[in-house]
């Protein structure tokens, strides 16, 4: 089974990667949804062979990464973006339509700093929340599990506290 780590909005809290990677030993890739691209240097140091898919967010000034991406994992087509260009703080219809038009089964987004999961027809929208600056409650990340055959499972997890892994 493939396991993909989904993180967003670290905003300079690179230590969140250290704590999450200490917990999540078996990973096949990381998708970062923007706002904290410089924090990814920690990942390169801890897991240099882990494939990273990243997009820039509205706070990633002068970044060269794209604003969105499309990738296939285990028969699941995943569209990923930060979300600020699609009004995700107000509604998810524009993002859902774009993902559907690109043939995606799953659309990943950040920007709101709030964990979310919504179903729009055949497209599942998933926001892992913020790993660095949560709006409400605990810092969170997402985990995408792909057992095969086009099936997938999504879950929100809390970023471990400092005492647990530091």
Query: Structural domain boundaries of the chain?
Result: 2-160
Instruction: Report the length, in residues, of the chain.
Output: 166
- CA nearest to 81, candidates 90, 60, 62: 60
3-state SS assignment for residue 54: strand
Is domain 2-160 given the CATH code 3.40.1260.20 in the classification? no
Q: Given this model, what pLDDT does residue 162 score?
A: 67
Sorting pLDDT into bands at 50, 70 and 90, what band is 92?
very high
pLDDT in tens, 19-72: 999 999 999 999 999 999 999 999 999 999 999 999 999 999 999 999 999 999
Judge whether residue 141 has pLDDT over 70.
Answer: yes
* Region for residue 149 given its phi and psi (left: phi exceeds 0; alpha: psi -120 to 50; beta: otherwise): left
Sorting pLDDT into bands at 50, 70 and 90, what band is 164?
very low
Helices and strands in the chain: count of H runs, count of E runs: 4, 10
Q: Where are the alpha helices (DSSP H) in the chain?
A: 15-23, 41-46, 93-101, 162-165
3-state SS assignment for residue 15: helix
Instruction: Measure the CA–CA gap between 50 and 47, rounded to whole angstroms.
Output: 5
């Amino acid at each position: 089974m493939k396991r993909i780590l989904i993180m967003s909005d670290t905003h300079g809290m690179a230590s969140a990667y250290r704590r999450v990677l200490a917990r999540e030993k078996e990973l096949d890739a990381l998708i970062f949804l923007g706002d904290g691209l410089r924090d990814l240097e920690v990942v390169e140091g801890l897991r240099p062979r882990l494939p990273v898919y990243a997009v820039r967010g509205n706070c990633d000034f002068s970044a060269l990464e794209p604003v969105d991406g499309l990738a296939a994992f285990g028969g699941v087509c995943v569209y990923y973006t930060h979300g600020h260009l699609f009004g995700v703080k107000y509604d998810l219809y524009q993002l859902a339509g774009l993902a559907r038009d690109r043939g995606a089964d799953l659309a990943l987004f950040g920007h709101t700093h709030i964990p979310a999961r919504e179903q729009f027809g055949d497209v599942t929208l998933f926001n892992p929340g913020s790993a660095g600056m949560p709006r409400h409650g605990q810092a969170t990340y997402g985990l995408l599990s792909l057992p095969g055959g086009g099936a997938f499972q999504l879950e929100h997890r809390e970023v471990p506290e400092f005492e647990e892994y530091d």
